Structure 1
Amino acid sequence: MHESSTWLTFEHGERKVIHVAKSQHLEWASGDSNYLCLFGYVFVDGCPADATELMSIFDLQEDLTQVYQRLSGQFWVLYVNQNRPVVLFNDQIGAKNCYFHETENALFFSNCLKDIKLHEDTNLQVNHQALYNYIYFHCIPSPTTIYELTSKLEPGKAVLFDSINGKTTELLYSPIFASSINNQKQAQEECLEIVEDCVKRADFGKVGAFLSGGLDSSTVAGMLAKINKNKAKTFSIGFKVKGYDETEYALITAKHFDTQHEVLYLEPEEAAKKFVEVAQHFDEPFGNSSAMAAFFCAKYAKEKGIEVLLAGDGGDELFAGNERYAKQKVFELYNRLPSFMGNVLNNAFNNRLGRKIPGVQKVASYLEQARVKLPGRLQTHNFVNQMGAEAIYSEALLAGVDKHIPILQLEQRFNECKSNHPVDQMLFLDWKNTLADNDLVKVTKMCDLAGVEVRFPLLDKKLIDFSCKIPAETKLPGGELRDFYKKSCKGFLADETLNKSKHGFGLPFGAWMKENQQLKDITIEALASFKKRNIVKNSLIDTALNSHNTVHTSYYGELIWIMVVLELWLQKEEPDFKV
């Protein structure tokens, strides 16, 4: 157990409900026959609420959907009442991770999976399917976890545990997406007002802001500067590697809003010293290579007296700022054609001869991709789809997994969206996969390691709801990414910020590994150990190392990273594991 962890046990019928949690960010309330745990922070009807107030609301109102409509914030809640099913639910975007594990006699809940594992009454075994999913996604999307019979709460959902009906899941947040707008100019003005209000609600404590210089972090930093009497404190991280350093854009925003700006230039030697600690801090294997940058930036802010950092995550997924949204709109043109016309085009161009003729090759490639339905088409360039599962995973691992699970999980989330517009559907999917399962985990866990709390004002329910009122074609007319949002920020953000290309806190791991001996040594040693676990084929590891040293440094650097951090995580948590 972690030193700051507590076991809270409550009887529910014949089973115990055991909540294992760190005390930080945790509140609980209890009565004669009920108990409520609140992790994070919550607003009821726009006003801050604590666990006691929330429990009194639930005691009076049995309809979870009605109560949920009144809640916002970044939280998860466990409510136990002797006369009702045990209920677990989280905020609309799933900003706070919650894990749960069932045994015959008990239910275990925690924000920390490692604490559940260490409880004396649990015996967790590594989930082979989770390993497959990890290589596929570079993380393990909910509800699957690295351990069998253990789950992660999916964003915007509730899980009810009933001794009679068993475990059931409800989708609590699936908003209606608008298809038209009455007054776009008025909506643009409202957008910026809502962003300001969301930043105000997150601005409590000793607060600073991440600042990469992109649209989202610049907006959050700018609003923090606007609402604070003292200079807002902002933090960036830079790299002395061509193509990775964007601190000049952060400086533009800092100067524009007159923030007290701090920049840390991260050297590979410093990254190497923390590489293992970063990889092992996550509850599960986690392969987003920008985690290192997030940690060092948060650590630097902590050293400057900051206790809370505001992050700009979410704007791209609310207002259509990722290149793939525009790209997929082009592919969707094919699917609007009458089926006979699509077949004619495919037969004429997408054939063995067409794929060899210069000029026709692009048409054949377009048709080949377009014929794959969303959301599967989003995975065209996935390592597993590019190389083939049989070329990546060991035969022993493949024998015990379902190769269709990753795409089935994507399809389920994609189809839960209450819109038929592909952009709306992709945005909704990204709330779950890109944000809840990946980016938010990265930032939250790295801030936790640095001793800083993080909040995501652009993922406030008020702004999410508002974004759904803006039609997809207004957010993304043609191929103009974030057109509505940029127009909303015109005059607030600097023109250079509005016109810059998208970037972020990337990590030049591939380039660093070539020049830094310590990183190279960690990598070679980790991959040598990884081979013995029989998760992937040895030939994949050899190919990745050879290709990284000769061609495609960045591409194979990413593949090497996800394997190395998996091995480092296993060394600490499951040292004896092998397939």
Structure 2
Amino acid sequence: MSTTRVCGSLLIAAGPAAAAWLAAQPQGAGERVGDARLRAHLDGGAQARREGGVLALGLHDLIAGEPAHAPIAAAQGRNPVEVWTDWRGRFAEALWDGDTLTVASDHFDSIPLYYLEAPGLLLVATHLRALLASPWCAREVDPLAVYHYLNFSCIPAPATICRGVRRLPPGSVLRWRDGRIDIERYWRPTYTEDVDGDEDLRARELAAQIRASVEAYRPAAADRWGCFLSGGTDSSSVLILLSRQRPDVRVPSYSIGFEEQGYDELAYARIAAEAAGSDARYGTVGMRQTLEMAPRLADFYDQPFGNASAVPTYACLALARGDGIRTMLAGDGGDEIFGGNERYAKDRVMQAYYRLPRPLKALGGAIGRAVSGGRMRLLNRIGNFVERASLPNPDRFYTDDSFASDHYDALLTPDFAAQAARDASLQALRDIYAEGQARAELHRLMYLDLMMAIAQNDLVKVHGAARAQGVDVRFPYLDPALVEYTGGLVADYKVRGLHKRYLFKRALADVLPQAIRAKKKHGFGLPIAVWMKEAAEFRALVTDTLSSRRARERGWFRNDFIERLLREHVAGAWDYSAPLWALLQLELWLERHIDPN
């Protein structure tokens, strides 16, 4: 095991012109290494080492593997991919042998790696802003990336907000030699679906795999560490398992609730904390704190980020950092490997409708169109269900994230629409869905979620907030060994009928309190829907920002449509708080990082 602080930073300038540019920049904090052909700036936990003529640069928090092994392999003429594939944990690594620069993201790209190519040079950085400051970055916004953002609330790799800057996808290697780039994927989740049979035996095996993963990710006793605790099954199980591993140690846990009732799971978090004997801390996020934090989020994230749960995530990390905590453990990924997402069960219902005879579906479609479109939310939901259930996957799955596609003509100006095709985001999702090598449709959806909802959204959210607080985060349920094991389980062990996490709940029946096993999935959503509807101050932030002179001059969106969204949200016709928040964060980020001062 090798641990450094993965919330540090790394900037690599390859090629004589790039190396000279970096050498001329004020050094500030951190360390400079390299020569006239490649220079690097390392800060925080980033480290440099030389092994057999190979310079290795990276950030590492490894549960299994040693940073020295990859450069040693390269120096011996072996492919370092063989080393990276077997690593467990988080890393961003670069190797330079004097001719070739090889850069690797970890299995889920939990530490982003951005790169910019120009004739004779390559820049690589863990922070996008480091590339924005270079003379080779035109700082031009990519409309297609903006369009993806409006659909997904994030910008999926390899795209970035800036033309000419790319982001390395999960489990990928970039090689740069003689001015040419080659990228390959070295790892993807696989679904062999060959583990079936006696359920009691399989439940015991899964329990052993989960315990092994969680216990392996336990930080050293000398570290100040704790656990996220939302009250959900994943964070609760991680906390309780770690507490049982060392009953003599009270594990700190951190939970965030909201002033509005019904938006958090603090009651369940208290049940889990009591079951674990945790040293539990609880905090609250309200509207005023969110108003103050909304503009600051632009500084936490390399790119526009529209997931509102970034606010309570940051608040939770701030609470932990105030206690001196330097490492947190999170339950991210559990839904996507055990079968816990609500939409997996919902998709089963939609799939049943999709398989109906064509005349019945035609009748259902006519009814759906007839009842939707007004201001009665229930009727709108019926129409929405019928429309979505009439599609195959992944198109059906995409309808959870298709705001800009759904309102393409009403939202986008003709000039913007000419640069982003209506189906561009859907096609990006189809491409990822096609990568998933699985027989069961559920597993293809779970693969899609791991590559999108986890790698492009959840991990971006947590890493950005954690980096702002100087805290590292570990994700035991994204351990490649555990992901591979669960990929072998048949789909029926994940979702049986409409019962989610079927085998997981059996496996951890003696770990999770009954109240947590039986509760409905809640999520970690900020009550922005209530604030936009009821608080004039919150609406003013949205309207003032989105109708500002700068926002209008961009010429991207139709302002009258955005005003209509807010009116309909206030009237209760539909919940448009998520797209309105995403539009707000997009504009605040552009004002902060792209617009001239």
| TM-score normalised by structure 2 residue count | 0.87
Q: Which whole-Å deviations, capped at 9, do the CAs of 1:269-310 have from their partners, x for residues lacking one? A: 222222211233210000000100000111011111211111
- In structure 1, the residue corresponding to 2:500 is in which secondary structure? coil
Alignment of structure 1 residues 29-48 onto 2, 5 Å: 29-30=49-50, 33-43=53-63, 46=64, 48=65
2:199 paired residue number? 184
| 2:592 aligned partner | 572
Identify the match of residue 26 of structure 1 among 46, 70, 94: 46
Check the 8 A contact 1:27/1:38 in 2, yes or no: yes
Could you tell me how far apart the structure 2 residues matched to 1:276 and 1:488 are? 43
Which residue pairs with 1:543 in the alignment?
Answer: 564
Deviates more, 1:4-13 or 1:453-462: 4-13
Q: Report the CA distance shift for 1:275/1:77 in structure 2 as closer, same or farther (over 3 A).
A: same
CA contact (8 A) 1:40 1:96 kept: no
Per the TM alignment, residue 364 of structure 1 is displaced from its structure 2 partner at its CA by 9.3
Whether 1:92 and 2:113 are equivalent positions in the alignment is no
Match of 1:474 among 482, 487, 493: 493
What is the CA–CA distance in structure 2 between the aligned matches of 1:509 and 1:458, rounded to whole Å?
A: 29
Q: How does 1:527-542 map to 2 (within 5 A)?
A: 527-529=546-548, 530-542=551-563
Tell me the residue number matched to 2:126: 111
SS in structure 2 at match of 1:235: strand
SS in 2 for 1:124: coil
Count how many residue pairs are aligned between Structure 1 and Structure 2. Answer: 563
2:286 is matched by which residue type in structure 1? E
Deviation at 1:197, TM superposition (A): 2.5
Letter in 2 for 1:24: G
Describe the SS at the equivalent of 2:71: helix
Superposed CA offset, 1:514-540 (max 9, x none): 555653443232112223322211122
Decide whether the 8 Å contact of 2:51 with 2:71 is kept in 1. Answer: no
Residues 21 and 110, structure 1, Cα contact 8 Å, conserved in 2: no
Aligned partner of 2:580 in structure 1 is: 560
Instruction: Report Cα offsets for 1:6-55 as digits up to 9, x if no partner.
Output: 65545599998767665223222235753222223235xx3x413x3331
Identity %: 25
Is 1:448 aligned to 2:467, yes or no? yes
Match of 2:421 among 378, 399, 402: 402
Q: For 1:380, what is the secondary structure of its paired residue?
A: helix
Determine which of 77, 80, 93 is the counterpart of 2:93. Answer: 77
Q: Contact 2:300/2:467 (CA < 8 Å) preserved in 1?
A: no
Determine if the alignment matches structure 1 residue 206 to structure 2 residue 224.
yes
Taking the aligned partners of 1:354 and 1:119, their CA distance within structure 2 comes to 53
Alignment match, 1:324: 343
* Match in the other structure for 1:498: 517
Structure 2 counterpart of 1:201, which letter? Answer: A
Residue equivalent to 1:134:
149
Given that 1:21 and 1:115 are in contact with CA atoms closer than 8 Å, whether structure 2 keeps it comes out as no
The CA distance in 1 between the partners of 2:382 and 2:564, in whole Å, is: 31
- Taking a change above 3 Å as real, the CA distance of residues 462 and 527 of structure 1, as seen in their structure-2 partners, is same
Deviation string for 1:210-263 (max 9, x for gaps)?
A: 101000000111122123332100010111212213211100001111101011
| Distance of 1:13 and 1:430 partners within structure 2 | 40
- SS across alignment from 2:192: coil
Cα shift at 1:572: 0.6
CA distance in 2, matches of 1:564, 1:357: 31
Q: Residue 91 of structure 2 aligns to a residue in which SS?
A: strand
Residue pairs, 1:141-160, within 5 angstroms: 141-160=156-175
SS at match of 1:532: helix
Structure 2 counterpart of 1:101? 116
Cα distance, 1:387 vs structure 2: 3.8
RMSD over aligned CA atoms reads 3.0
Structural mapping, 1:315-394, within 5 Å: 315-333=334-352, 342-343=357-358, 345-346=360-361, 349=363, 352=366, 356=370, 369-384=388-403, 387-394=406-413
Question: In structure 2, the residue corresponding to 1:122 is in which secondary structure?
Answer: coil
Check conservation: 2:310, 2:461, Cα contact below 8 A. Answer: yes
Q: In structure 2, do the counterparts of structure 1 residues 65 and 342 end up closer, same or farther at CA, with 3 Å as the change threshold?
A: farther
Amino acid at match of 1:182: G
| CA 363–310 in structure 1, closer or farther in 2 if over 3 Å, else same | closer
What is the distance in 1 between the residues matched to 2:385 and 2:467? 44
Compared CA separation, residues 19 and 512, structure 1 to 2 (3 A): farther
Call closer, same or farther: CA 1:110–1:527 in 2, change over 3 Å: same
Distance 1:250 1:531 in 2: 44
Single out whichever of 363-372 and 322-331 deviates more from structure 2: 363-372
1:18 and 1:108 in contact (8 A); partners too? no
Q: How does 1:301-320 map to 2 (within 5 A)?
A: 301-320=320-339
The AA in structure 2 aligned to 1:216 is D
* Distance apart, 1:167 and its partner CA: 2.7
Q: Who is 2:30 aligned against?
A: none
Report 1:414-453 matches (<5 A): 414-453=433-472
Q: Mark the CA change 1:362 to 1:73 in structure 2 (over 3 Å): closer, same or farther.
A: closer
- Aligned partners of 1:269 and 1:518 also within 8 Å: no
Q: Retained in 1: the 8 A contact 2:152–2:402? A: no
Match of 2:377 in 1: none
Say if 1:269 and 1:531 are closer, same or farther in 2 by CA, change over 3 A. same
User: 2:15–2:122: 8 Å Cα contact kept in structure 1?
Assistant: no
CA distance in 2, matches of 1:99, 1:410: 21
Q: Distance in 2 between matches of 1:68 and 1:114?
A: 27
**Partners of 2:406 and 2:384 in 1: CA distance:** 17
> Counterpart amino acid of 2:78?
E
The structure-2 alpha-carbon separation of the partners of 1:387 and 1:175, relative to structure 1 and needing over 3 Å to count, comes to closer
On the 8 A contact 2:547/2:559 being kept in 1, the answer is no
What is aligned with 2:33? Answer: none
Question: Which residue of structure 2 aligns with residue 49 of structure 1?
Answer: 66
- Secondary structure of the residue aligned to 2:582 is helix
Task: Check if 1:233 corresponds to 2:252.
Answer: yes
Residues 108 and 17 of structure 1: CA distance in aligned 2, closer, same or farther (over 3 Å): farther
> Which residue is equivalent to 1:222?
240
CA deviations over 1:482-502 (Å, ceiling 9, x no partner): 111111110111100101111
- The residue aligned with 1:66 is 82
Displacement after TM superposition at 1:57 (Å): 2.4
- In the TM superposition, residue 199 of structure 1 has moved relative to its aligned partner by 2.5
- Tell which deviates more after alignment, 88-97 or 235-244: 88-97
The verdict on how the C-alpha distance between 1:12 and 1:463 changes in structure 2, with shifts beyond 3 A counting, is: farther
Whole-Å separation in 2 of the counterparts to 1:558 and 1:101: 31
Query: Could you tell me how far apart the structure 1 residues matched to 2:201 and 2:496 are?
Result: 18
Amino acid at match of 1:570: L
Pair 1:461-2:499 in alignment: no
**2-side partners of 1:274 and 1:294: how far apart?**
12
The answer on whether the counterparts of 2:139 and 2:594 sit within 8 Å (CA) in structure 1 is: no
Deviation of 1:177 (Å): 2.6
Shift of 1:556: 1.8
Displacement of 1:325 in angstroms is 1.2
Could you tell me how far apart the structure 1 residues matched to 2:134 and 2:388 are? 48
Letter in structure 1 aligned against 2:585: V
